[in-house]
């Protein structure tokens, strides 16, 4: 979508991970400086691509939004955010989906046999264990919720991942159920809501669908490696595993 050369993707990935850490993880000062430099490097990289597209337009996302009326700094911040969400957050989403599904071999086999189930299954993954469960916001006015009054201009951490387990909306919401959205409307808020609805939600769903379609077809015996210690990334605004080890059987050649 960005026409970024594949050879530079490892560096872009490192910048994106550092950017995520900078905004959501307690870090020692020297590490904060490293992550800040990565963020600046990512911004300069995106700004250079924008200028390339202005000089030589192509059939890609950046060229298509050059006439949006946004300034270059606004375009840079928007595209940096989409880079992070488009592969770092989506990677967490896909890994979590694989973990939840291969834990139940019969479910993974079911996806192998019926790939049409995958879109609905992904919606349950998003509801049950979203890769972006919270966001920091600032109140624009005093507001009362229950018995709590929150003053104007207060910084609050909104845990909307919790709403996706609301038992009044999702019966048996604490359990993962691949049938939940099979014939029911999708009403979770893993991608937020209203004017704050995630700009990349369609992209994330597409990435997840393609990943599960390919993996379930090519690796029907996919499973978690035994005796591994699963740990989550140490970040408040993102949820995913630091690593996920899997294995599968290789068919014997006759």
**Mean pLDDT, residues 106-128 taken together:** 95
**pTM of the predicted structure, to 2 decimals:** 0.84
Answer whether residue 254 shows pLDDT above 70: no
Highest mean pLDDT among 4-18, 29-43, 68-82, 234-248: 29-43
Answer whether residue 194 shows pLDDT above 90: no
What is residue 102's predicted lDDT score, i.e. its pLDDT? Answer: 96
**DSSP H or E segment with residue 145:** strand 143-145
- Please give the backbone phi and psi of residue 180, each rounded to the nearest 5 degrees, phi first: -60, -45
Position 252 in a domain? no
Rounded distance, CA 74 to CA 168, Å?
A: 40
Helix (H, G, I), strand (E, B) or coil at 63: helix
Rounded distance, CA 97 to CA 129, Å?
A: 9
92: confidence class by pLDDT, cuts 50, 70, 90:
very high
Answer whether residue 167 shows pLDDT above 80: yes
89: confidence class by pLDDT, cuts 50, 70, 90:
confident
Cα-Cα end-to-end distance for the chain: 42
- Lowest-pLDDT choice from 75-89, 220-234, 239-253: 75-89
Query: Residue 227 belongs to what domain range?
Result: 6-247
Segment 128-141, tens digit of pLDDT: 999 989 888 899 99
Rounded distance, CA 80 to CA 191, Å?
A: 18
Reference 200, options 123, 89, 52, 66; nearest CA is: 89
Segment 207-224, tens digit of pLDDT: 999 999 999 999 999 999
Rounded distance, CA 129 to CA 103, Å?
A: 15
Position 254 in a domain? no
Position 205 in a domain? yes
- Burial class of residue 237 (count of CB atoms within 10 Å of its CB; 0-12, 13-18, 19+): middle
4: confidence class by pLDDT, cuts 50, 70, 90:
confident
Q: Any idea what the CATH number is for the domain that residue 20 is in?
A: 1.10.630.10
3, 60 contact by CB (below 8 A): yes
Position 143 in a domain? yes
Position 131 in a domain? yes
181: confidence class by pLDDT, cuts 50, 70, 90:
very high
Long-range pairs for 24-29 at CB < 8 Å and ≥24 separation?
24/235, 24/236, 24/237, 24/238, 25/233, 25/234, 25/235, 25/236, 26/234
Q: Tally the domains of the chain.
A: 1
What is residue 40's predicted lDDT score, i.e. its pLDDT? Answer: 95
C-alpha of 211 from chain center: 13
Number of residues written out for the chain: 254
Percent of the chain with pLDDT over 70: 99
Segment 59-80, tens digit of pLDDT: 888 888 898 899 999 999 988 8
């Amino acid at each position: 979508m960005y026409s970024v050369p594949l050879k530079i993707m490892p560096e872009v990935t490192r910048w994106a991970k550092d950017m995520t850490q900078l905004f959501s993880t307690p870090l020692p000062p020297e590490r904060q400086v490293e992550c800040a430099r990565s963020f600046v490097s990512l911004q300069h990289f995106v700004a250079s691509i924008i200028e390339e597209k202005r000089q030589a337009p192509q059939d890609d996302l950046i060229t298509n939004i050059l006439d949006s009326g946004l300034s270059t700094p606004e375009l840079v911040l928007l595209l940096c955010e989409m880079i992070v969400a488009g592969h770092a957050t989506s990677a967490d989403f896909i890994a979590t989906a694989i973990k939840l599904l291969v834990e139940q071999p019969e479910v993974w086999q079911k996806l192998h046999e019926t790939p049409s189930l995958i879109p609905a299954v992904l919606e349950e993954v998003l509801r049950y264990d979203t890769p972006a469960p919270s966001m920091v916001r600032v109140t624009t006015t005093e507001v009362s919720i229950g018995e709590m009054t929150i003053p104007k201009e207060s910084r609050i951490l909104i845990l909307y991942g919790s709403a996706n387990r609301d038992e009044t909306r999702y019966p048996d919401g604490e359990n993962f159920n691949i049938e939940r959205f099979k014939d029911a409307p999708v009403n979770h808020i893993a991608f937020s809501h209203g004017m704050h609805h995630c700009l990349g939600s369609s992209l994330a769903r597409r990435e997840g669908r393609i990943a599960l379609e390919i993996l379930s077809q090519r690796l029907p015996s996919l499973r978690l490696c035994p005796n591994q210690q699963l740990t989550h990334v140490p970040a408040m605004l993102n949820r995913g595993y630091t690593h996920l080890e899997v294995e599968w059987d290789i068919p014997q050649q006759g």
